[in-house]
Amino acid sequence: MNKLIESIKKDFTTSTLVLIPVVIAINIVLGEIALLLKLPVYLDGTGTIFLAVICGPWAGALTGILTNIIWGLAIDPNAFPWFPVAAFIGLVAGIMANKGLFKKWWQVVITGFVIAIFTTIVSTPIAVYLYGGITASGTSFITAMLLQSGQDLVTAVLSTNFLTDPLDKITSALMAFAVLKALSARYLSRFPHAENVVD
148-196 pLDDT per residue, tens = 787 777 878 888 888 889 999 999 999 999 999 999 999 999 999 999 9
Amino acid at 127: A
What's the pLDDT score for residue 16? Answer: 98
Contact assessment for residue 162 and residue 35, using Cβ atoms and an 8 Å cutoff: no
What's the pLDDT score for residue 139? Answer: 67
User: How far apart are the two ends of the chain, measured CA to CA in Å?
Assistant: 30
The hierarchical CATH code for the domain 2-196 is 1.10.1760.20
Number of Cβ within a 10 Å radius of residue 7: 14
What's the pLDDT score for residue 21? Answer: 98
In the chain, where do the E strands start and end?
Answer: none
Smallest CA-to-CA distance from 124 within 145, 86, 153 is with 153
Q: Where are the domains of the chain?
A: 2-196
Confidence of residue 137 (pLDDT cuts 50, 70, 90): low
